[in-house]
Amino acid sequence: MKRRNFIKKAALSSLATIVGADIVFGNMLPSGYELLALQDSDPFKMFGKDKEMVVLNDRPWNMEAKAHLLNENITSNKYMFIRNNGKIPENIDVNTWKILFDGESVKTPKTYTIQELKEKFSHHTYQLTLECGGNGRSEFNPPAKGNQWTIGAVSCATWTGVRLKDVLDDVGVENDAVYIGYHAADTHLSGDPKKEPISRGVPMAKAYQEETILAFQMNGKDIPLAHGYPLRLIAGGWPASASGKWVDGISVRNKVHDGTKMTGTAYRVPCKPVAPGEKVKDEDMCIIESMPVKSLITYPKSGALIKEGDKLKINGHAWAGELAVAKMEYSIDFGSSWTACSLEQPVNRLAWQQFSAEISFPEKGYYEIWAKATDDQGVSQPMILPGWNPKGYLNNACHRIAIKVQ
> If we measure between CA atoms, which residue out of 311, 309, 359, 363 comes closest to residue 338?
359
Q: pLDDT digits over 284-309, tens only? A: 999 999 999 999 999 999 999 999 99
Average pLDDT over residues 296-324: 97
Tell me how far CA of residue 331 lies from CA of 284, 315, 338, in angstroms. 37, 14, 5
* Same-domain pairing of 93 and 218: yes
Higher pLDDT among residues 362 and 384, named by residue? 362
Express as a percent the part of the chain with pLDDT over 90: 86
Q: Are 233 and 247 in contact (CB under 8 A)?
A: yes
Q: pLDDT digits over 117-144, tens only? A: 999 999 999 999 999 999 999 999 999 9
- What are the phi and psi torsion angles at 34 (to 5°)? -105, 125
CA–CA separation, 314 vs 62, rounded Å? 29
Indicate whether 160 pLDDT > 60.
yes
> If we measure between CA atoms, which residue out of 402, 333, 341 comes closest to residue 373?
341
Average pLDDT over residues 85-105: 96
- Banded model confidence at residue 28, pLDDT cuts 50, 70, 90: confident
Tell me how far CA of residue 217 lies from CA of 77, 212, 326, 349, in angstroms. 12, 14, 30, 19
Distance of CA 364 to the CA centre of its chain: 40
Average pLDDT over residues 309-325: 98
Express as a percent the part of the chain with pLDDT over 70: 92
CB-based contacts of 226, cutoff 8 Å, min separation 6: 46, 47, 61, 82, 84, 88
> If we measure between CA atoms, which residue out of 132, 161, 151, 298 comes closest to residue 219?
161
* Same-domain pairing of 298 and 398: yes
Neighbours of 127 (CB within 10 A): 21
The predicted pLDDT at position 134 comes to 98
Last residue of a domain, one of 40, 63, 86: 63
- Banded model confidence at residue 6, pLDDT cuts 50, 70, 90: very low
* Same-domain pairing of 88 and 156: yes
* Same-domain pairing of 10 and 116: no
Number of separate domains in the chain: 3
Q: Are 350 and 299 in contact (CB under 8 A)?
A: no
Last residue of a domain, one of 240, 262, 287: 287
The predicted pLDDT at position 1 comes to 40
- Banded model confidence at residue 3, pLDDT cuts 50, 70, 90: very low
Distance of CA 141 to the CA centre of its chain: 23
Question: DSSP label at 254?
Answer: S
CA–CA separation, 281 vs 405, rounded Å? 50
Average pLDDT over residues 206-219: 98
Indicate whether 10 pLDDT > 60.
no
* Same-domain pairing of 127 and 263: yes
Q: Is residue 71 part of a domain?
A: no
Last residue of a domain, one of 287, 318, 336: 287
* Same-domain pairing of 263 and 129: yes
Residue 94 belongs to a domain with what CATH number?
Answer: 3.90.420.10
Residue 365 belongs to a domain with what CATH number?
Answer: 2.60.40.650
Higher pLDDT among residues 17 and 5, named by residue? 17
- Banded model confidence at residue 329, pLDDT cuts 50, 70, 90: very high
Which range marks the domain in which residue 388 is found?
Answer: 294-405
Indicate whether 350 pLDDT > 90.
yes
- DSSP annotation string for 103-142: STTBSS-EEEEHHHHHHHS-EEEEEEEEE-TTTTGGG-SS
* Same-domain pairing of 380 and 364: yes
CA–CA separation, 299 vs 214, rounded Å? 33
The predicted pLDDT at position 322 comes to 97
* Same-domain pairing of 359 and 254: no
pLDDT, the chain, mean: 93
The predicted pLDDT at position 313 comes to 98
* Same-domain pairing of 128 and 222: yes
